Amino acid sequence: MIEAVGLTKRYGKTLAVDNLSFSVPSGRVTGFLGPNGAGKSTTMRMILGLDTPTGGTALIDGKRYRDLQQPLRTVGALLDAKWVHPNRSARAHLQWLARSNRLPAKRVDEVLEIVGLTSVAGKRAGGFSLGMSQRLGIAAALLGDPQVLLFDEPVNGLDPEGILWIRKFMHRLAEEGRTVFVSSHLLSEMALTAQELVVIGRGKLISQSSTEDFVTQATENTVRVRSPQLAPLRSALGKLGVSIRDEGEALVVSGMDCADIGELAAREGVVLHELSPQRGSLEEAFMQLTGDSVEYHTEIAEPGVPATLTTAGK
Amino acid sequence: MSLLAAERIKLFSTRSPWACGLLAVALPVGFTALLAAQAGDQIDATVANTQITTNLGRAVVLVLAALAVTSEYRFGTIRSTFQAVPNRVTALTAKATVVAAVTAVIGALVGFGCWGVFRAIHAGADLALTGAEDWRPVAGQALVFALTGLLALGVGILVRQTAGAVALLLVYSLLVESLVQLIPKIGDDIQRWLPFFAADRFIGATGDDAANRSDLPLSPWGYLAYFAAISLVVLAAGIATAARRDA
Ligand SMILES: Nc1ncnc2c1ncn2[C@@H]1O[C@H](COP(=O)(O)OP(=O)(O)O)[C@@H](O)[C@H]1O
Ligand SMILES: [Mg+2]
């Protein structure tokens, strides 16, 4: 169980994390979702006591990280797979970590086996592919057989096979009753990986709910209406207070289903050329929710590409 | 003890400390051999004067000790270190202990190596280690090297970048301290309070003019204590800074 209470971090003028409170339950995979720059990594560093919060606290099973005895036995984390000395072998990397927390030497071989790196354990970590580095990072996180696990964007840059492996692995860890907290900037990925979601934008909490609830809520259904007589239809809908988006030839209506719109059109004597239910895509919905919070919008938007879509593909 | 073991594994599981260690011993011993063979007759045959080239080893030890921590910052392993041992004072003290032990061994090898090689080549001179005055410059290298290592570790923690820390340490120890002497009037007065000058006075080789000065404020052991104080203050400043700032 991880708990953040009013976590705040300021770097000079940047307010990276802003009064963030959430809790991460055990026995589930909890996704930590937010666009790039939302403050996910900063939050994780504060949970691990690496960065000191400007305000608030993060607690693990009720304790601050720095008060944990031999913390690798309680919390395992993979923040960045590149945090390994390139000239050190995978085994030596795990050996020093194990010794620092008085973990038995045979545990090193066990975790190497679990992540499937036994055959390359003696090789320099600098020669590893991203997928192998990721596995080495996971091995390090598992060393102390911890109940709480944190992973920062673990699937970034991995091939589909690697992504699937990590996803299954997280599920297994949660099924064993552990607390698994994993960040990502992709809702589509999190929808497959996480059962719970903590969503942030610009350092602020946007929502905490089950993934299912978040997705239903986020992908609110809309109806597309095409008609040669849009003006009277728009004013009739307007009176009912539903939200309407204009798309030139058509209107996109949310908060009213096809049947009701069709009946309204008949009453108003409006001819319809199209009346079709639309299901929003996950990423679109996510972008809509965090839209105001996307920090780099304009910087990364290419001409002609809607700004709201660019972060999703990054 | 487990923290010392962890730091020992870290230090010995990459190549550069081995390379530095080897170089730190081979350079001064090699140059001492050359010196003894070529100019043995022009140097006063005292035990302290077998140690004239040891500064070469000290310079390499500066690099070794600074790298022990700057490479952790460079590759991000300092975060794993603090994750494993959240009490940063404890974590860095363990590292300092291992660095001190390793550099002390290097210092001893340098001290006895240079003395042995000089004595073997320049067989005519009486260079037996008979009293405390003879043992100090030879065995004392272990102390000087260990303190040098701690000073460099402290600078490494403060600076964090390898290039910056190494440049600062080498330029300071090899150039700045001797250039200070050129400042009119006060140069000499400043120089006698500089850390590596102090370390040299503890060894007491007469290779440079300064050593022949009779107006020095401290005894050899006094100078060692002074050098130790400076090294430990720099190290403590580094550890205190690392404990406060974001990793
Ligand atoms: N060490 C730091 N110094 C200054 N600014 C930082 C630092 N770390 C993160 N930031 C800033 O804080 C914000 C959040 O960053 P980060 O936590 O990395 O976001 P995320 O992981 O969600 O992409 C960004 O604006 C980033 O530039
Ligand atoms: Mg990040």
> Quick one: tokens of B127?
């260079």
Of A184-188, A197-201, B26-30, B35-39, which gets the smallest average pLDDT? B35-39
The residue range of the domain holding B213 is 2-244
Q: Answer whether residue A218 shows pLDDT above 60.
A: yes
The confidence band for A68, taking pLDDT boundaries of 50, 70 and 90, is: very high
Q: Answer whether residue A132 shows pLDDT above 70.
A: yes
Determine the Cα–Cα distance for residues A250 and A73; give it in Å rounded to an integer. 59
The confidence band for A306, taking pLDDT boundaries of 50, 70 and 90, is: very low
Question: Are the beta carbons of A33 and A184 closer than 8 angstroms?
Answer: yes
What tens digit of pLDDT does each residue of B66-122 get?
Answer: 999 999 999 999 999 999 999 999 999 999 999 999 999 999 999 999 999 998 988
DSSP element (H, E) containing B106: helix B88-121
**Of all protein residues, whose CA lies closest to atom 8 belonging to ligand 1?**
A42
CB atoms A50 and B79 under 8 Å? yes
Give me the percent of chain B exceeding a pLDDT of 70: 96
Residues belonging to chain B with any Cβ–Cβ distance to chain A shorter than 8 Å: 2-3, 5-7, 9-10, 13-16, 71-72, 75-77, 79-87, 246-247
- Compare CB distances from A84 to B5, B9, B75 and report the shortest one's residue: B75
Where does ligand 1 bind, in terms of residues with CB under 6 Å?
A: A 11, 14, 16, 34, 36-42
Our mutation pick for probing the ligand 1 site, out of A18, A36, A40, A42, counting the most ligand atoms within 8 A of Cβ, is A42
Specify burial of residue A231 (Cβ count, 10 A radius: 0-12, 13-18, 19+): exposed
Question: Are the beta carbons of A33 and A185 closer than 8 angstroms?
Answer: yes
Please tell me the CATH code under which domain A221-279 is placed: 3.30.70.1510
Task: ipTM value, please give it.
Answer: 0.90
Closest CA to B218 of B233, B229, B207, B232: B229
Q: Which residue has the higher pLDDT, A273 or A295?
A: A273
pLDDT at position A280 is: 64
**Of all protein residues, whose CA lies closest to atom 13 belonging to ligand 1?**
A16
pLDDT at position A284 is: 67
End-to-end CA distance of chain B: 24
Q: At which residue do the structure tokens 């913390």 appear?
A: A71
Q: Answer whether residue A149 shows pLDDT above 50.
A: yes
The confidence band for A277, taking pLDDT boundaries of 50, 70 and 90, is: confident
End-to-end CA distance of chain A: 31
Q: Answer whether residue A294 shows pLDDT above 70.
A: no
pLDDT at position A314 is: 35
pLDDT at position B40 is: 66
| Interface probe with A: pick from B83, B98, B244, most Cβ of A within 10 Å | B83
Mean pLDDT rounded to a whole number for chain A: 87
The top-scoring range by mean pLDDT among A55-64, A186-195, A202-211 is A55-64
Helix B54-75 vs helix B195-203: angle between axes, to the nearest 10 degrees?
Answer: 140
Q: How many CA atoms lie less than 13 Å away from A128 in the CB half-sphere?
A: 28
Question: Are the beta carbons of A47 and A96 closer than 8 angstroms?
Answer: no
Determine the Cα–Cα distance for residues A203 and A293; give it in Å rounded to an integer. 8
Q: Which residue has the higher pLDDT, A268 or A107?
A: A107
- Compare CB distances from A83 to B5, B71, B75 and report the shortest one's residue: B75
DSSP element (H, E) containing A93: helix A90-100
CB atoms A83 and B87 under 8 Å? no
3-state helix, strand, coil in chain A (%, to 5): 40, 25, 30
Nearest-atom index, ligand 1, CA of A51: 1
pLDDT at position B70 is: 97
What tens digit of pLDDT does each residue of B159-204 get?
Answer: 999 999 999 999 999 899 889 888 888 888 888 899 999 999 998 8
Cβ-Cβ contacts under 8 Å, B14 against chain A: 85, 87-88
Q: Which residue has the higher pLDDT, B50 or A148?
A: A148
DSSP element (H, E) containing A8: strand A2-11
Ligand nearest to the CA of A8: 1
Query: How is domain A2-217 classified at the CATH fold level?
Result: Rossmann fold (3.40.50)
The confidence band for B245, taking pLDDT boundaries of 50, 70 and 90, is: very high
Counting the structural domains of chain B, the total is 1
The confidence band for A176, taking pLDDT boundaries of 50, 70 and 90, is: very high
pLDDT at position A157 is: 83
pLDDT at position A27 is: 95
pLDDT at position A97 is: 97
User: Once rounded to an integer, what is the mean pLDDT over residues A129-144?
Assistant: 95
Task: Outline which parts of chain A fall under CATH 3.40.50.300.
Answer: 2-217
pLDDT at position B209 is: 58
Q: Which residue has the higher pLDDT, A80 or B36?
A: A80
pLDDT at position A305 is: 38
What residues contact residue B182 under an 8 Å CB cut-off, 6+ apart? none
Q: What is the pTM assigned to this prediction?
A: 0.86
Task: Outline which parts of chain A fall under CATH 3.30.70.1510.
Answer: 221-279
